[in-house]
Structure 1
Amino acid sequence: MSVGKKILGLFALLLMAALWGSYFYVFKENRNGQLGETFSSYAWCGTPPASDASDSGKDRLSLHITNNVHGEFMLSGAVIVSERTFDRYDLGRNELRLRMEPMQWSYGIAPILMEQVKIKPLSRNLSSTNKSAYAELESRPIGVQGRSTDFPFDTYRYGYKPVLYILKGNERIDLKFRHITTGMEMSNTFTPIQKYNRVEYINEKNSLIREEDYKPYSAYECAFSVERKGSFKVIVLLLLLVMCLPLLHVFYRDEPGIDFLATLVSIGAIRVFLVGPLNDFQLYTIDFLFAAVIILVGTVSLIKAMRANSRRELAAKSGSSW
């Protein structure tokens, strides 16, 4: 056996070991259809969700942040206004508004753009004991710091301070809500991690760091990062290793042909499964790996086909069977 065949055989054995190892790791990490622990994709910040504010008629803002496997984030939620606050600011005539003030995400850069979240009309429950008013927020996408093209190593950051306010003429009046809770319900492939101060949130080694940057965020501020789960990265690795099987067949076969088609189909299916169909020709980093595999399989297949054709022509000229 030639040295090349020995190296190829060793690579095939390592590939088989990696495939089965990844498979059993993912199988072990599965918990009732979830990757990892049941609540590993959930987190909250602000006022504890178990607070008694919800049933005591106090002013309360509840935010709900979700995302999908492609890293698109959505914000929804609800607001409860006590009778005292409702009457004080005459919220029957003055529209209640919400703005999300972004927190500094990089040293030397001060964010200036604020996201406005529309609140549906308040509905008063006069028959209740506290006569509070209730309204839901209109669900909307939110902008986060991060690049989805870094898949599967994409990470995202989102930090904000929610402020409820009303407009009276040219005057803006901010309402002080003491109970503000943010619940994060991420996709099964993500893990949210709360950040407690500016240094943790920005996460940059910079000479501009000051002592006040280590000061904890207030109860009205929320900052977190979202990272891919390790088990999901193993799934991506497993699928990438599966793509190597047609590549090995190409090297072993004398006349590879069907393997190139198998590579195209498998890469197309894996790409759609992981990141969805191509949108406006937005290429992910992983797409360049897919392209390299296709080019490599196509190149080896074409070279072997050319060599096989040359052998046929030589055999035909010499009159011998090939």
Structure 2
Amino acid sequence: MSAGKKILGLIALVLMAALWGSYFYLFQENRNGQLGASSDSSAWCGTPPSSDAAALGKDHLTLRITNNVRGEFLLSGAVIVSERTFDRYDLGRNELRLRLEPLQWSYGVTPIFLEQVRIKPLSRNLSSLDKSAYAELEARPIGVQGTAAAIPFDSYRYGYKPVLYILKGNERIDLKFKRITTRMEISNTFTPIQKYNRVEYINEKNSLVREEDYKPYGANECAFSVERKGSFKVIVLLLLLVICLPLMHVFYRDEPGIDFLATLVSIGAIRVLLVGPLNDFQLYNIDFLFGAAILLVGTVSLVKAMRANSRRELAAKSGSSW
């Protein structure tokens, strides 16, 4: 056996040991199908979720933030309006509306585009003791700062100030809700981290930082950064190492076999597992790594096939076997 093949064999053994070590690490981190504790992927800001607003019929807005595999963040929730607020603003005739004012995400940039969220018609229970009205928010995608193309190092920033309001003619009247809760309930591959002031949320080294940027956000302002868990990054590394097995095999063999097909199948399965099927030809950074692996295996297989064919031709001409 040549020295090159011995080195490849040693690397393969080290690789398999790394795969098993990573597997047992992930097994230890598993908590009923979660990467870590279930609370690691949820957080809240504003009024505590255990508020008694629903029971006492107090004004209360609850926002729920979730996500999907396409990197979209979805907003849903509900609003409870007390009898006093309902009568004061005549919400039986005036439509209750909600806008989300984005917090500043970069120094020198002032957000101007607002997110409008539709509230379904209020349902008033006059027979109840509190006589409050209730309505759900119409679920919709919400804009965040970040991109899914950087998986598994993708991170996102959510920062908004929700404001309920009504329109009377050309006049916009804001309703001052003191109880606003924002809940982050995202997939178990992410960790939401609440940011308490503008400096923490923007997270940029810039000479434009002022003293007022260190002041805490208001009670109705909510800011989070959403980052991938270390366990998920280990999973991605583990899957990428799996691709190295057929890649090493094609270097180890004198003649190409099914290594190219094995590479295609493994990359296809890993790609679907991580980010789902190809959607509208949207590419992620990791797709270029997959493409490089396919080209490398294909090139080495082709070169070795051409060499093997040349040896056969020479052997046929010389009348000897090889």
How many Å apart are 1:43 and its aligned residue?
A: 0.3
- 2:234 matches 1:238: no
Pairing 1:16-27 to 2, within 5 Å after superposition: 16-27=16-27
3-state SS of the aligned residue for 2:208? coil
Name the structure 2 match of 1:147: 147
User: Are 1:137 and 2:99 counterparts?
Assistant: no
C-alpha contact (below 8 Å) 1:249/1:256 kept by paired residues: no
Q: Is the 8 A contact 1:94 1:168 kept in 2?
A: yes
Contact 1:152 1:233 in 2 (8 A): yes
3-state SS of paired residue (1:92): coil
Q: 2:124 and 2:264 mapped to 1: Cα distance?
A: 59
Structure 2 counterparts to residues 1-322 of structure 1, below 5 A: 1-322=1-322
How far did residue 49 of structure 1 move? 0.9
| CA displacement at 1:188 relative to structure 2 | 1.4
Gaps of 5+ in 2: none
Give the Cα separation in 1 of the matches to 2:219 and 2:131. Answer: 26
> 1:249: how far off?
1.3
**CA distance, structure 1, for counterparts of residue 270 and residue 276 of structure 2:** 9
Paired amino acid for 1:224? F
After superposition, the C-alpha distances for 1:203-244 in whole angstroms (9 at most, x for unaligned) are 000000001000000110000011111111111111111111
Deviation at 1:179, TM superposition (A): 0.4
Q: SS state of the match for residue 139, structure 2?
A: strand
Return the offset for 1:281.
Answer: 1.9
Query: 1:61, CA displacement in angstroms?
Result: 0.3
- What do you get for the CA RMSD once the two structures are aligned? 1.0
Q: What is the SS of the residue equivalent to 1:40?
A: helix
Q: Which moved more, 1:139-148 or 1:249-258?
A: 249-258
CA-CA distance at 1:9 after TM superposition: 2.4
Give the match's secondary structure for 1:39: helix
Cα 1:70–1:27 change in 2 (3 A) is farther
Cα distance between partner residues in 2 of 1:9 and 1:261: 21
Deviation readout 1:7-34 (Å, 9 max, x if unpaired): 3223212211211111111111110111
Distance 2:254 2:2 in 1: 16
- Note the C-alpha offset of 1:4: 2.2
Does structure 2 retain, via aligned residues, the 8 Å contact 1:46–1:182?
yes
The answer on whether the counterparts of 1:69 and 1:189 sit within 8 Å (CA) in structure 2 is: no
**Amino acid of the structure 2 residue aligned with 1:18:** A
Mapped partners of 1:289, 1:7: distance in 2:
24
Deviation of the 1:320 alpha carbon: 0.9
Distance in 2 separating the partners of 1:291 and 1:313: 33
Q: Residue 215 of structure 1 aligns to which amino acid in structure 2? A: K
Distance in 1 of aligned mates of 2:49 and 2:112: 30
Distance 1:49 1:261 in 2: 52
Distance 1:211 1:13 in 2: 56
Where does the alignment leave 5 or more consecutive residues of structure 1 unmatched? none
Moved over 3 A (4+): none
Task: State TM-score, norm by structure 1.
Answer: 0.98
Please tell me the residue identity of whatever aligns with 1:310. Answer: S
In 1, are the aligned partners of 2:38 and 2:188 still within 8 Å (CA)?
Answer: no
Contact 1:149 1:284 in 2 (8 A): yes
* Aligned equivalents of 1:70, 1:243: Cα separation in 2: 23
Does the 8 A contact of 2:58 with 2:80 survive in 1?
yes
Residue identity (%)? 84
Larger mean CA deviation between 67-76 and 172-181 belongs to 67-76
